[in-house]
Structure formats: structure tokens, C-alpha cells
Chain A
Amino acid sequence: MSERIREKLNILADAAKYDVSCSSSGGTRKNDNKGLGNSHASGICHTYTEDGRCVSLLKILLTNHCIFDCAYCVSRKSNDIQRAAFTVEEVVELTMNFYRRNFIEGLFLSSGIFKNADFTMERLLRVVKKLRLEERFNGYIHLKTIPGASEDLIREAGMYADRMSINLEMPTESGLKLLAPDKSHQEVIDPLGMVQRQIVQFKEEKKLIKSVPKFVPAGQSTQMVIGATPETDKDIMQTADTFYKNFSLKRVYYSGYIPISNDNRLPMLGSQPPLIRENRLYQTDWLMRFYGFNVNELLNDANPHLDIDIDPKLSWALRNLHYFPIDINVANYKMILRVPGIGVNSAKKIVQARKFGKLRIDQLKKIGVAYNRARHFIKCADSPYQLKDYQSTQIKSFILAESQSKYLKNDTNQLILF
């Protein structure tokens, strides 16, 4: 018995690991029925894998049998791998026992499509219902919406899950058609929109009637595979931006493609996953969501790709030197947020602290500003007087000279003559 469940867990956890969504935040479920589990507003990462990704949820597939044959997926029909399927009881038992030992924050349940969408969705629904109703489980549940499943099933699942997600897979429709001819973006857009409308509707009702049940309280997310098809960063981020705006998604995840097949439409087996690119895309995503940047400022027709050697905020600042230097003691919050080397926390502290007197360099450093980076773009009470105006290439070389990239081990700077 124990051997079989170990084997299943290995197969189905391995198949689920390419789904990068790991967040357990935003849940509002309280343990008010003397049951197990209570959500933590900011989520908790219980451990991290050796590749540095957090493990907060028990991330498994219900089964890796699938009727689809998408070239980028390990569980595709034509792939010769071991197949397995959990029973509903097995998933429930694993979740409960892991949660009791404080291993996990909750369950992330996805599945390959067996038979048809409704059949699969109905199985997923049975797992969450058993957890919530029979086991009184109040932990976090992230459920995959199965594209094509009936609206009723999806709506019912939304009553028990904290977050629902559907993966876009490829950033553009043409990319998706190339690798998964049976799928289309529209199949994703329909259920995303459906759930979104329900969330809005439940919120409206909640305002009038207090006892309205929760519906997907932690919102929806999606994921795109990066580097499998030749999209530019601009395409990717504009797609992300559209989805953020149209479906008020909580997150868009970018997953660097890890070669898993010999298909000649895809990068070769053994080639490195695009980790730096993935990192830069996430940085851009953060700039859009928390720093008030518009996607067109960071990526446009003149700059369709993000710089690999510097982060997108610095690269925006270098392209727009006419905004700088700004005076930290008078500039508004939005502008301070745009200075490379100053984050949200530092910016807030600066705005608070300057009410009590002009800020000096040493105070900025203590507050947590990356001063070596920021000093080219700011003025404060005791900034040294500077006669010469540096050009953006010079500033870039100064910054690169005194910082080290965690990715590039060798210095690849070209010397500048003039």
C-alpha cells in the first residue's frame, strides 16, 4: 500500500512541478468550525526546493493521463512516461496529514484531461468538496479550471476553492497554434471571464447580504511559457498587461521553458532554460503592478526586448535621463518610486521621514536605499556638487563596474572610448 502511494506521489508531483504558481496568499478562510486550518493573509512558504522555488502547497495532478498532445507538456498523449491516478480519498488523506504536520499551506490540484473536460472537473470538485465539507479543512486550495468544463461545475468549484487558474501556455495565439493545434486562447478567455464576472457579482451581493458565501476569494491567475516560441518580451508583457486589465488577475506567472522533448519545433534537449529572461520579465511585471509603470514605457517598438545585463527600471531611467536628477526632499512619491535603487518600502519611509527634516546620504543608506545605484539619479541635502553631466552609457558602466550580476560570472563589459 505505502509503496504504491509513494510511486503515485512521485509520478504526479513530478508532472505537476512545471506549474509555477505557488502563492498561498489572499485567502480569507477562518477556522470558525473547530476544524483544521486557517488562512494566513500573506501566505507562508514552508520550504524551498533546491532550485530556489518555494513550496507552500502540495502541488499534484489528479492524474497525468491526457487526451491532448501539446508539444510543450510532459503529460502529452504521445509521450512515453509512466501514468498514474490518485483516488479522491488518497488526495484528501495526503493533504490532511501534510497539513497537520505543518508541511504545507494547502493543496494545488490540477489534472490531465481524461475522457472529457466535464468528467475531469467533476473529479476535482469531488476532492475539494470532501476536504471542505467532510474534513472541515480551511487551508488554501488552488484549483485548476479545466477549459471546456460546464459553467455549473466551475461555479460550484469556485465556492470551495480559494484561487482558480487557467494557463494561457503561450503568450500569443500563433505560438499556441504551432505547438498545440487543438487549443486556443479563446478557450482560456471564456472561463476566466466567467469566473471574473462571478467574483464581481458575489462581491456586490456581499455588500448587501453579509452571509453570501465566499467565491474564489484569492482571485485568479494564469501562466505563460517563455522561450519555447519566438515571441518578443514586448508581446509577452502586453499579453500579460491585457489579462491583468481585463480579468483583474492576481498574478501572471512566467515559466522559462525547460526542454523536455525532441520535437524540432521546440528548443533542443539539454539547452539552458532562459532564467535571466524569466527574471527580467518578473521584474517588469512588478514594475507594472507596484511601481506605476505603464507597459509601453518599459517595452515599445524601439525596445522590444528587455536588457539582459541591467534591470528594466535602470534601463528605463537611462533612456529617460531628462527626468533626473530628482531632489529626494521635494519630489513626489511616484517619482521617487521610479528611481533605480529605491523600492516601495524605502520610498514610503523617505516620504514619511522628510517631514522631520532634510534627508542626508547616510540616512538614505540606513533607510535601505541602494545608494551606489541611486546616487546618479537623486539629489539630497548633502549631495556633492557635480559639474559634469554624465551620459547614460557612462552611468551604466559605473553601475555595472561596482555591481555583480548573480547570473553573469564573467565581466562582459565593453570598454567605452569616448
Chain B
Amino acid sequence: MQTYLFDGSMEGLLTAVFEWFERKPGMVVLRNQALHQPDAFEQCFHVISNEQQAARVWKGLQQRLEKGWIRRLTCAYLSEKPDVHDHLFQLICYLFQNPPGAEMNYGNEHVLEVAQTARKVEREKHRMEAFIRFQHAADGIFYCGIDPDFNVLPLLGKHFRNRYQDQQWIIYDLKRHYGLFFDLHTLDEITMQREEENNLMNSKADVLSEKENLYALLWKDYFKSTNIPARKNTKLHVQHVPKRYWKYLTEKQVEI
């Protein structure tokens, strides 16, 4: 069995599919070359990303699949899980080898794995839509720093752009060191220096707008008074709002 090594990009993955159909080497596993540990007897083949080949494969996929499935492939890729590349590769090869509609075969392990991974990514994206809490800074921009489990920032832009058209905002991924900035007209990708990033997380009163603390306080009050103590159900609460997200949430911050 051969090992295909690629550079970890979506383009590289699609090129690998192209190469596989060019050579038909039988069973192959796809690995990211940055993470690959070679063993003594394996045959390696380095896939060199090729824009045109990747575009051809992508076009073929778009002809075969519905929009929902194209999105699933993208989502699964954004999960950044180590073995998802191989599943995606196997799935795409499987789709091209079978008549249209093969993506419905949930009995196939790659179909199911990609569908389930995509679902996890969508769930994380939805959680971010819910748990992002903007802070209004003195310079008029609404800030938020996040570190989601998966790289969901590319999926978030549209939602927030549609929603907040009359305010400037920044959503910054502190784990992957890039962010989105909306300046009332266009949405751009930005990167910040490390010191600026640190400022995002522990913002002090002097950089915040004057009313910010009042609204944070009002929100905490609201969160408290809307609770019904007689129905307390901590297990359910933590299930819906897992503890790893508490650091974003205004209502979960301890009052200083």
C-alpha cells in the first residue's frame, strides 16, 4: 500500500485525488507531510499541489454533489482533525468511482465520518454564533477574541456581516492568530501582534467605552433574575454551555 503525502492544503488534497486517478495505484492512504512519521518499508509519493488539477477535481465535485454536500466537504476540511484528510480523500475517490448519489450511502465509513465531522464543525460554528460576546471599546469598535475547537472563522463571516451592518466589529481567533474585521463596508482578514492579542483577552476599563460596564452588569443581572432556582439542573446547564466556553461569556465572569 502506498502513502500519498501532501502539504495539508485543500488544493493539495484535491491534487492527490487527481494523481490517484492518473496512476490508479490501488489502496492508498493520504497523510499530511508535516505530521508524517515514515516507516521502513512504505512507498511514499509526494503530491505537489497543482492549482489547475485541483480546480478540475473541484469542478467535478460541484457537478456531482448538491450544495449541502460541497459545504460538508469544506466543513470537514476545516475541522483540522489529523485523519480527516484521509477520509475526505477516500470519500472523493469513492464518489468519482460510483454513479451519482453515492454520497447517500451512510453505510460507507468515509461518507459517515465526513458527514459526522462536518456536523461537529457546524455545531461549533453555531456555538460561536451564540457565545461570541462583543465588548464595546472606546474607539467605537466591538471586539471579541475566541479560540474555537475547529477553524470556524471562515464560516462565521457571513452571519456576522449580515447581522451587524451598522457597527464596526472584530472577531479574532486567538488560537490560529487571525481575525475578521468589518469596517461598515467590507469584511477583511486581519492579523495582530502578540501584545495586541493579549490586550483582547484581558481588556481593562480604560480601553472600554463608558457604557460597556453598565451593560455587562445589566446582562449579568438579567441572567441571574431569569433563572428559576426551584428547577435547578446543573447537569443540563453544563451540557448546553460546556465549561470551556465560559471564558467568553459575560454572564459567567466573576464580578470584580
The CA of A17 and the CA of B225, in the complex, are separated in Å by: 8
A45–B108 alpha-carbon span in the complex (Å)? 34
B230 interface hit (Cβ, 8 Å): yes
Measured between beta carbons, the chain A residues less than 8 angstroms from B231 are 51-53, 256, 258, 273, 275
Residues A10 and B221 in contact in the complex (CB < 8 Å), given A51-B232, A101-B134, A273-B231:
yes
A337-365 toward B: CB 8 Å interface, digit per residue (1/0)?
00000000000011011111101000100
Whether B188 sits at the interface, judged by CB under 8 Å, is no
8 Å CB contact of A45 from B234, B239, B240: B240
Partner of A363, one of B107, B217, B230: B107
With A36-B167, A46-B130, A367-B112 as given contacts, are A59 and B226 in contact (CB-CB < 8 Å)?
A: yes
Chain B contact residues, majority secondary structure: helix
For residue A51, which residues in chain B have a CB less than 8 angstroms away from its CB?
A: 227-229, 231-233, 236-237
For residue B135, CB closer than 8 A to chain A, the reply is yes
Asked whether, in the complex, the Cβ of A48 is within 8 Å of the Cβ of B241, the reply is yes
B-facing mask of A16-32, CB < 8 A → 1, else 0?
Answer: 11100000000000110
Indicate if A102 sits at the interface (CB-CB under 8 A): yes
- Asked if residues B167 and A47 are in contact (CB atoms below 8 Å), the reply is no
- The residue from B217, B218, B223, B239 contacting A49, defined by CB atoms under 8 A apart: B223
Chain B, Cβ-Cβ closest to A135:
B166
Within 8 A of B (CB), among A52-85: 52-55, 58-59
Most B-side CB within 10 Å, residue of A38, A49, A258: A49
Task: Note all chain B residues with C-beta closer than 8 A to A366.
Answer: 109, 112
Minimum Cβ distance to chain B for residue A411 (Å):
19
Q: How many residues of A contact B (CB 8 A)?
A: 59
26 contacts between A and B (CB under 8 A): A9-B225, A10-B221, A13-B226, A31-B165, A36-B165, A38-B163, A48-B240, A50-B227, A50-B237, A51-B228, A51-B229, A52-B233, A55-B226, A97-B211, A97-B215, A98-B215, A98-B218, A100-B167, A101-B134, A102-B132, A103-B219, A103-B250, A258-B231, A353-B106, A366-B109, A367-B112
Closest 8 CB pairs of A and B: A52-B236, A51-B231, A353-B106, A356-B105, A38-B162, A48-B240, A352-B104, A52-B233
